[in-house]
Structure 1
Amino acid sequence: MRQNASELVRRAQAGEQLTITVTGRPAAVLGPVAPHRWRRWDDLADIFSLPADTDWPSDRDLIDDTVEDPWEAR
């Protein structure tokens, strides 16, 4: 990779996903950056039509929502 890093980055920029190995073992994945973009309502509408999570109220009650001053001596 040291000798052709620029070429590998160009390939990733073009959309290819490359696995970088160290001594034959996968160590990292090099790929294109996903663009940030707005989604159309039609793409998301199905998510909101799913049934509500019936466990949410009990899960929410498990959250410790106590506000504390982190600099106050204990």
Structure 2
Amino acid sequence: MSHSVGVRELRQHASEVLRRVEDGERLTVTVSGRDVAMLVPATRRAWRRFDEVADIWASPADPTFADIRDLLDQEITDPFA
């Protein structure tokens, strides 16, 4: 269940209200008693810095690919070329 906050309270105490939302609380903003908006915590950032994932790019995607390719009896061709 989310709590509600009036537009006047939001305007007068925006930092406090946003701190509550940042802490995980879901708030409904009301105008004259009518629900008009929801304030919900933002999702975590999906992007990572390069140094956090650099080790992924440091090695080949499949170290056995060269061995498997040697077993093929024909050349690999690009079907979209």
| The structure with more radius of gyration | 2
Query: TM-score, normalised on structure 2?
Result: 0.43
Structure with more contact order per residue of length (Cα contacts < 8 Å, sep ≥ 6):
2
Query: TM-score, normalised on structure 1?
Result: 0.46
Q: Which has the higher helix share?
A: 2
